[in-house]
Amino acid sequence: MSATDARLLAGSSVRAISILSLGSVDARSIETLAKFFPLIEQIDSGLGPDALLTDHAAALNRAIDGASGNWILILRGRETIDPSLAGELASAVSEPPLAWGYRIASVAVYCGRALRFGRDKGEIRLFQRRHARFDLRAPGREMKVQGTVIRIMHPLRMITFESAADHQRHLAERGVPHSLLRRLLLFSRNAIVTGSLWRSATSLRYLWIEAGYDSGRSQEPGAGRQ
């Protein structure tokens, strides 16, 4: 972004947005925003895509302070914005806005299909920086927003693996295989906890492959590739 665009962005609260990225955000994942936001700024938070927002309040506040725009969207690496969500984000920041903060869910996409692991209430990802901050006196707490926080209807989509074979190779290259008994126990636990037994074959396939390896990270459904 040029210095001129930055000055314009700083003076505008409509049709301008600052993307605060966690991890590497591909330009293609946010290209749908260009139709609605002529001015888009991207800020690198210095954090990884799986970082918990509540664990990095000070770093995120510093990044927010450095934004040129008033409206900020937090986006994690591998997340994409489809046209429906882009349109809803544009409506959310139109004057006068209905709220100063918006909660957005993120749905993991595996083999071209959404993984269903219970209802995700989402995180506060879109907000007006003059009315929202992490409270450093309350570590571990969610961002504080003045007034009511509204839920965005359309989710972000986080791309994990294009195929089950890709998923299997990824874990095999980085992890240690579990015994069949441990795999069965992990799979059964996660299938019950996530409610996948009553949801979809895609989710069960994902959990079965995940349960086969100790990858050195938490066995959290939907974690995706690093």
Q: Render pLDDT for 85-123 as a digit per residue (tens, 0 to 9).
A: 999 999 999 989 999 999 999 999 999 998 877 667 899
Residue 12, pLDDT > 50, answer: no
Residue 216: its pLDDT value, please?
A: 62
* pLDDT tier for residue 3 given thresholds of 50, 70 and 90: very low
pLDDT, average across residues 204-212:
94
- Whole-angstrom distance, CA of residue 59 vs CA of residue 22: 11
Query: Minimal CA–CA distance to 207: which of 89, 102, 108?
Result: 108
pLDDT, average across residues 191-202:
80
* pLDDT tier for residue 79 given thresholds of 50, 70 and 90: very high
Structure tokens at 86: 């882009």
Q: Looking at the chain, which runs of residues are DSSP E strands?
A: 16-22, 39-44, 71-76, 79-80, 101-104, 106-110, 113-114, 123-128, 132-133, 144-145, 149-151, 156-159, 176-177, 213-214
Residue 225, pLDDT > 70, answer: no
Whole-model pTM over 0.85: no
Residue 117: its pLDDT value, please?
A: 77
| Of 153 and 200, the one with more pLDDT | 153
Residue 130: its pLDDT value, please?
A: 95
pLDDT, average across residues 8-29:
79
Residue 196: its pLDDT value, please?
A: 75
Residues 122-158 pLDDT 10s: 999 999 999 999 999 988 899 999 999 999 999 999 9
Question: What is the share, in percent, of the chain residues with pLDDT greater than 70?
Answer: 87
Q: Is 34 helix (H, G, I), strand (E, B) or coil?
A: helix
pLDDT, average across residues 203-214:
93
Question: What is the share, in percent, of the chain residues with pLDDT greater than 90?
Answer: 73
